[in-house]
Amino acid sequence: MAPRKLPPVRENLPAPSSPEGELFHYQPTEAEIWLPFAARKLCLMAFAREIPHVNNGNKIWFSGLNIREITEQFTVRPFTKADAKPARAAA
């Protein structure tokens, strides 16, 4: 079986954190550059409504704001003592 040919990634893409990139629409193969997921996984998560995305007639796109929100969604914050539950008193 021949490997599937992926759509080409456009050149000179704006970064999602830039003002131009906030509303720019990225294809899944382009969004995977900035996210820790493969394009296929991004599509599966979008179809399952697990991550924010733009759905243009059954075609998945990600705006720069979506990419930034996905990054925040999967960011793990360090544990602090303020987050700890108080220990129970011995009975």
pLDDT in tens, 12-30: 899 999 999 999 999 999 9
- 41 belongs to a structural domain: yes
- 64 belongs to a structural domain: yes
The pLDDT of residue 87: 66
- 7 belongs to a structural domain: no
Nearest to 59 by CA among 48, 46, 72, 49: 46
Domain range for 38: 25-73
Tell me how far apart the alpha carbons of residues 19 and 65 are, in angstroms, rounded to a whole number.
10
pLDDT tops 90 at residue 35: yes
The pLDDT of residue 72: 93
- 32 belongs to a structural domain: yes
The pLDDT of residue 6: 64
- 84 belongs to a structural domain: no
- 57 belongs to a structural domain: yes
- 33 belongs to a structural domain: yes
Give percent above pLDDT 70 in the chain.
85
The pLDDT of residue 11: 84
Domain tally, the chain = 1
